[in-house]
Amino acid sequence: MRKIGLIVNPIAGMGGAVGLKGTDGEIYKKAIKLGAEPITPQRIKLFLSNIKEKEDLLFLVAPGKMGENYLKDLNFDFEVIDEIGEKTTANDTKRIAKEMLEKDIELLIFCGGDGTARDIYDVVDLKIPVIGIPSGVKMFSSFFAINPQAAYNLLESFLDGSELQESEVLDIDEEAFREDKLDSKLYGYLKIPKVKQFIQGGKKASGKKRSEAENKVQIAKYIIDDMKEDVVYFLGPGTTVKSISDELNISKSLLGIDAVYNKELLEKDINEEKILEILREYHNGKIVISPIGGQGFIFGRGNKQFTPEVIEKVGKENIIVVSTEAKLKELNCLRVDTGDLETDDVLKGFIKVIIGPKEKELIEVK
């Protein structure tokens, strides 16, 4: 039997229909007053109705409306984890996820939005893979399946023994979002199943076969070999950029920005003010960044410390974009949203992304 966890956030997505942009914290009460109805049941039912081969699966499920209610009538084997009260909270999600981990689930499926994803991340981190069924209002995190059907396809791939890939969880400031400002930072990474290429035979992709992890190391080595003396390298967030620090044997803040000078750590987890101070002192700087998976943002999501002023001081020609081949193939273009239209315009146009040793991809920034 494959042990799969299932947690549903019953209130996720309720804010959308009544124009509230999210239900984090106390806002969901307002949503209910405005007549919002749960959209999660239809999402989760749609997902579950796709699963035909039920006999090999054992669901460890959150109680009542957090999961149990949807499985009850569908002839699945399941075990209910813990108890919940009338009103459910983020703490319920975290506590139940933790218990499921202790009971050795191999995959956790959850239904919710960015807020739920953060709660799941707080507990699961990169320990086991997850599948996110989208039902929230805010779903900027790239790891969400595009719809319940696609979430089922990911489950299918997982059960089929697919590879896993890391994908970003974003933290969007709901208050700001309600005022039509998008303020986000990178919250962390979750592992998701990767859909395998299906080839009947004949001409296949070959050449440099490499895993995501190998590709990151290749990129890191290339960047390090190319590092100039007396230039400060501002390493942005994310695991691709972090691999550069790993190869240099220096500790890196996964979600923050670190400064590296002559292959040594200069400052860790720095803000705009500190970056500008370093630039005043050392004069020459380069920014190393990686696009956000699925969305392609290189500035404005997850790395707000690189403000328009920082970008202007460093100069477009000193921006180094790195990406694994797998992440880049899913992007039609790169994007910028620095909050300053002039800076965005300077950054727009084609840019070279380093995807491997002696390999670059020219892609448009929009």
Binding region for other proteins (CB under 8 A): 50, 145-147, 149-150, 153-154, 156-157, 195-200, 202-208, 328-330, 332-333, 349-350, 352, 355, 358-364
Nearer to other proteins, 124 or 145 (CB): 145
Q: How far is the CB of 321 from other proteins (least distance, A)?
A: 12
Q: How far is the CB of 345 from other proteins (least distance, A)?
A: 17
Closest of 135, 145, 167 to residue 302, by C-alpha: 167
Nearer to other proteins, 285 or 293 (CB): 293
Q: How far is the CB of 276 from other proteins (least distance, A)?
A: 31
Q: Are 132 and 144 in contact (CB under 8 A)?
A: yes
Strands 258-261 and 232-235: antiparallel
Nearer to other proteins, 179 or 214 (CB): 214
Nearer to other proteins, 222 or 299 (CB): 222
Work out the end-to-end distance of the chain between its first and last CA atoms, rounded to an integer number of angstroms.
Answer: 47
Q: How far is the CB of 147 from other proteins (least distance, A)?
A: 6
Contacts of 158 (CB under 8 A, 6+ apart): 107, 129, 131, 193
Q: How many CB atoms lie within 10 A of CB 170?
A: 24
Nearer to other proteins, 131 or 270 (CB): 131
Handedness of CA 16, 18, 24, 29 (dihedral sign): negative
Q: How far is the CB of 17 from other proteins (least distance, A)?
A: 22
Q: Report CA 149 to chain centroid distance, whole Å.
A: 20
Q: Are 170 and 186 in contact (CB under 8 A)?
A: yes
Nearer to other proteins, 80 or 164 (CB): 164
Q: How many CB atoms lie within 10 A of CB 29?
A: 12
Q: How far is the CB of 270 from other proteins (least distance, A)?
A: 32
C-alpha to C-alpha distance for 142 and 158, rounded to whole angstroms: 18
Nearer to other proteins, 33 or 204 (CB): 204
Nearer to other proteins, 213 or 333 (CB): 333
Return the residue matching tokens 């703490």. 91
Nearer to other proteins, 63 or 294 (CB): 294
Q: How far is the CB of 92 from other proteins (least distance, A)?
A: 30
Q: How far is the CB of 158 from other proteins (least distance, A)?
A: 12
Q: Give the 3-state secondary structure of 166-209.
A: EEEEEEECHHHHHCCCCCEEEEEEEEEECCCCCCCCCCCCCCCC
Q: Give Cα separations from 54 to 46, 75, 113, 129, 300 (angstroms).
A: 15, 8, 26, 20, 43
Q: Are 305 and 269 in contact (CB under 8 A)?
A: no
C-alpha to C-alpha distance for 302 and 336, rounded to whole angstroms: 11
Q: How far is the CB of 322 from other proteins (least distance, A)?
A: 14
